[in-house]
């Protein structure tokens, strides 16, 4: 298929206009076929961009190393270019959209010289789902095409669905490294210098413009750019939710299933929870999604969620058969590894994989690396943000209905962060708006690894959406309140919980073992949704009674009491921090309901003291 075969006149003109600006050698449409995928992989191996892995160890898989300057999302080069700075809000980087488009148009001019322009029509969500959205990404990166073919539903079926006038989100991307005649990359990862990197979102026109980076969420524009930053704006305007949340299915020994979403800041175990193997006999947990949830009201008045993605873009370091068996199994074949180490027998290795490096490896910087456990300053073989891109269908934990176009009905929403003290193991909101309040105060405690903030202070990440909300976050809180008001039947809204697996004792040891044992908390959440949980009312919300959660081996009754106590002084300090340092950021856009909940929390705590 070529551009002239496209029946959507607006789409065809858009592609040809961008080609005229960027001057590629040719235009190729990503048709979504395995034949095209294999052909592109073979060309990347032949040209030295990636290494074919051992077919006996990792069938049909490759390993890429990026440029050392291009290893992660670049938040300080990510922009919400709404018409006014006020609309972008206090938590986003803003540039005037007219000026930004001028700057980027100049950068795009001739940027694809010597390269191919690939057209990627993609669906976020199962094809034809009433919750799904279509995007089209134009890119000069084969790496992007291959990853998008795993992470989204790509191809001619999407063009068929668009028809002659269907709506799509336009996504521009270029690595920003034109080639002179006869020049090649010589297998080196192409990208532009940091000062020329831009990941730009235009909320009013629903456009994404990315330039200069070939990596992850900077370049795979279906991921955070469309799935959260632009989708959050669409969701606000259309009355649904686009959230940075896992979706899991939990089934009781009696065979009853409920669906749970969960929002957690980075390094709080979101993917591990999505792929949990429960330790409670007879209970089962299955995966719908590990990163994004889009939720809309169904005809029955319940919120239904889809995972708009088709793959996992998982952090490799720290992932092992012990920490996340299902993720490791998902990445056994048909997987793209980025910035991992490669062993002599062409397998991948990274820190925390569960075993020592098997002899010398080639590290992510393409140097020979020999593990030296006695050297605490040894640089890692894999980049700390090394990734695997694997088809979601390959996870042994994937639920049968993960691609159901109508989505799954959500019973519970979890919020959580990494909090060594104050926040208990689990508590439940009294109602929807109280749950919105809990989501608005989510945060994680700063450790010694973060040099920019004082150790022990809280870095707030409301709803785990701080880097991903496409508009003013005060208005985002209001949108959640509006969703609650829009429910035909308030009793059908999901119950909202705040969890914390990270409480520590006076010796700084974790009190709760986490990982599979978190299923014990999920069981209580399930029971709370059923109305059968043992509960007590407290100044901060509804909590389990001391005997409501089965204790894991090694957790004493005294420790369980500590995990479930309400730390009055700690929470009063929390109230003061929210009142002084957090809520004022949102100015007059902060919903009054949230200020009322904060006052009520303080009054409850003082009364209990």
Length of the chain: 609
Which residues, other chains included, contact 146 with Cβ-Cβ below 8 Å and sequence gap of 6+? 37, 40, 41, 44, 336
pLDDT of 450 reads: 42
**Does the pLDDT value for residue 455 go beyond 60?**
no
From CA 545, how far away is CA 537, in angstroms rounded? 9
Return the structure tokens found at 453. Answer: 């903030």
Residue where a domain stops, chosen among 336, 367, 394: 394
pLDDT band, very low/low/confident/very high, at 448 (cuts 50, 70, 90):
very low
Structure-model confidence comparison of residues 269 and 119, the more confident one: 119
Same domain, 234 and 248: no
In a domain, 78, yes or no: yes
User: Which pLDDT tens digit goes with each residue over 583-605?
Assistant: 999 999 999 999 999 999 999 99
pLDDT band, very low/low/confident/very high, at 447 (cuts 50, 70, 90):
low
> In this structure, what is the dihedral angle of CA atoms 288, 238, 224, 114, given to the nearest 10 degrees?
120
Task: Please state the φ and ψ torsions of residue 314, each to the nearest 5 degrees.
Answer: -95, 150
User: Which pLDDT tens digit goes with each residue over 150-162?
Assistant: 999 999 999 999 9
**Does the pLDDT value for residue 458 go beyond 60?**
yes
Same domain, 376 and 458: no
Strands 78-80 and 198-202: parallel
Determine which helix (DSSP H) or strand (DSSP E) holds 105, and give its type and residue range: helix 97-108
Same domain, 267 and 130: no
**Does the pLDDT value for residue 521 go beyond 80?**
yes
Residue where a domain stops, chosen among 207, 238, 269: 238
Q: Do 313 and 330 contact (CB within 8 A), yes or no?
A: no
Lowest mean pLDDT among 39-43, 264-268, 353-357: 264-268
Q: Do 361 and 343 contact (CB within 8 A), yes or no?
A: yes
In a domain, 42, yes or no: no
Residue 493 maps to which CATH number? 3.90.228.20
In a domain, 69, yes or no: no
In a domain, 568, yes or no: yes
From CA 325, how far away is CA 319, in angstroms rounded? 8
Same domain, 412 and 451: yes
Residue 385 maps to which CATH number? 2.170.8.10
Same domain, 142 and 216: yes
User: Which pLDDT tens digit goes with each residue over 386-401?
Assistant: 999 999 999 999 999 9
pLDDT of 167 reads: 97
- Catalytic-residue membership of 268: yes
Query: How large is the C-alpha radius of gyration of the chain?
Result: 24
Same domain, 161 and 228: yes
DSSP secondary structure string, 551-602? PPTT--HHHHHHHT---HHHHHHHHHHIIIIIGGGGGGGS-HHHHHHHHHHH
Which ranges constitute the DSSP H helices of 356-431?
none
> In this structure, what is the dihedral angle of CA atoms 32, 38, 40, 45, given to the nearest 10 degrees?
150
From CA 182, how far away is CA 114, in angstroms rounded? 8
**Closest CA relative to residue 562, chosen from 606, 514, 526, 511:** 511
User: Which pLDDT tens digit goes with each residue over 528-567?
Assistant: 999 999 999 999 999 999 999 999 999 999 999 999 999 9
Same domain, 320 and 293: no
Task: Please state the φ and ψ torsions of residue 278, each to the nearest 5 degrees.
Answer: -70, 150
Residue 17 maps to which CATH number? 3.40.449.10
In a domain, 43, yes or no: no
In a domain, 38, yes or no: no
From CA 463, how far away is CA 448, in angstroms rounded? 24
**Does the pLDDT value for residue 453 go beyond 80?**
no
Lowest mean pLDDT among 133-142, 264-273, 463-472: 264-273
Same domain, 170 and 283: no
In a domain, 55, yes or no: no
pLDDT of 449 reads: 43
pLDDT band, very low/low/confident/very high, at 198 (cuts 50, 70, 90):
very high
Return the structure tokens found at 492. Answer: 């059908």
Same domain, 273 and 254: yes
**Residue 193: C-alpha distances to residues 67, 78, 111, 196, 269 (Å):** 10, 15, 14, 6, 32
In a domain, 576, yes or no: yes
Residue where a domain stops, chosen among 394, 411, 426: 394
Q: Which domain holds residue 600?
A: 243-307+402-608
Q: Do 317 and 350 contact (CB within 8 A), yes or no?
A: yes
Work out how many domains the chain is built from and give that number: 3
**Closest CA relative to residue 276, chosen from 295, 294, 290:** 290
Same domain, 222 and 336: no
Q: Do 270 and 264 contact (CB within 8 A), yes or no?
A: yes
Q: Active site residue: 50, 171, 191, 268, which one?
A: 268
Which residues, other chains included, contact 76 with Cβ-Cβ below 8 Å and sequence gap of 6+? 93
Same domain, 253 and 215: no
Please return the burial class of 551, using the count of CB atoms within 10 Å of its CB with bins 0-12, 13-18 and 19+.
middle
From CA 226, how far away is CA 211, in angstroms rounded? 15
Same domain, 444 and 575: yes
Residue 271 three-state SS: helix
């Amino acid at each position: 298929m070529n551009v002239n075969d496209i029946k959507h006149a607006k789409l065809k003109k858009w592609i040809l206009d961008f080609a005229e600006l960027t001057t590629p050698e040719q235009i190729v449409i990503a048709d979504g076929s395995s034949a095209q995928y294999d052909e592109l992989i073979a060309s990347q191996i032949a040209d030295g961009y990636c290494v074919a892995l051992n077919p006996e160890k990792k069938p049909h898989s490759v390993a890429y190393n990026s440029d050392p300057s291009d290893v992660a999302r670049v938040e300080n080069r990510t922009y919400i270019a709404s018409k006014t700075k006020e609309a972008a809000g206090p938590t986003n980087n803003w540039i005037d959209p007219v000026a930004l488009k001028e700057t980027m148009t100049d950068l795009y001019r001739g940027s694809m010289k010597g390269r191919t322009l690939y057209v990627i029509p993609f669906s976020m969500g199962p094809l034809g789902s009433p919750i799904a959205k279509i995007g089209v990404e134009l890119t000069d990166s084969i790496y992007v095409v291959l990853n998008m073919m795993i992470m989204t539903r790509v191809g001619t079926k999407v063009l068929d669905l668009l028809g002659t006038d269907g709506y799509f989100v336009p996504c521009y991307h270029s690595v920003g490294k034109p080639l002179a005649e006869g020049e090649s990359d010589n297998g080196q990862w192409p990208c532009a210098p940091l000062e020329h990197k831009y990941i730009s979102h235009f909320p009013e026109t629903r456009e994404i413009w990315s330039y200069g980076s070939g990596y992850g969420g900077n370049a795979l524009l279906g991921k955070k750019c469309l799935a959260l930053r632009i989708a959050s704006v669409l969701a606000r305007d259309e009355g649904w939710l686009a959230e940075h949340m896992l979706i899991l299915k939990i089934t009781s020994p009696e065979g009853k299933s409920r669906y749970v979403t969960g929002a957690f800041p980075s390094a709080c175990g979101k993917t591990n929870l999505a792929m949990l193997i429960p330790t409670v006999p007879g209970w089962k947990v299955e995966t719908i999604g590990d990163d994004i949830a889009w939720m809309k009201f169904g005809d029955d008045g319940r919120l239904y969620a889809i995972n708009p993605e088709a793959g996992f873009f998982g952090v490799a370091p720290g992932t092992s058969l012990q920490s996340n068996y299902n993720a490791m199994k998902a990445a056994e074949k048909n997987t793209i590894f980025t910035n991992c180490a490669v062993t002599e027998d062409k397998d991948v290795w990274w820190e925390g994989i569960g075993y020592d490096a098997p002899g010398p490896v080639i590290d992510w910087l393409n140097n020979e690396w020999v593990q030296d456990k006695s050297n605490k300053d040894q640089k890692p073989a894999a980049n700390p943000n090394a990734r695997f891109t694997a088809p979601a269908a390959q996870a042994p934990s994937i639920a049968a209905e993960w691609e159901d176009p109508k989505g799954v009905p959500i019973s519970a929403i979890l919020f959580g962060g990494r909090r060594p003290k104050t926040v208990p193991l689990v508590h439940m909101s009294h109602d929807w708006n109280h749950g919105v309040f809990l989501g608005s105060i989510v945060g994680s405690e700063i450790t010694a690894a973060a040099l920019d903030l004082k150790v022990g202070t809280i870095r707030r990440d409301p709803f785990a959406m701080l880097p991903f909300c496409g508009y003013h976050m005060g208005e985002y809180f209001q949108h959640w309140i509006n969703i609650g008001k829009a429910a035909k039947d308030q009793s059908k809204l999901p119950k909202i919980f705040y969890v914390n697996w990270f409480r520590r004792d006076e010796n700084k040891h974790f009190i709760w073992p986490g990982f599979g044992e978190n299923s014990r908390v999920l069981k209580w959440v399930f029971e709370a949704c059923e109305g059968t949980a043992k509960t007590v009312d407290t100044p901060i919300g509804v909590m389990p009674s001391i005997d409501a959660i089965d204790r894991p081996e090694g957790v004493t009754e005294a420790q369980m009491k500590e995990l479930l106590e309400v730390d009055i002084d700690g929470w009063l300090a929390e109230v003061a921090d929210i009142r002084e340092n957090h809520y004022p950021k949102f100015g007059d856009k902060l919903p009054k309901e949230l200020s009322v909940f904060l006052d009520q929390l303080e009054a409850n705590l003082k009364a209990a003291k």
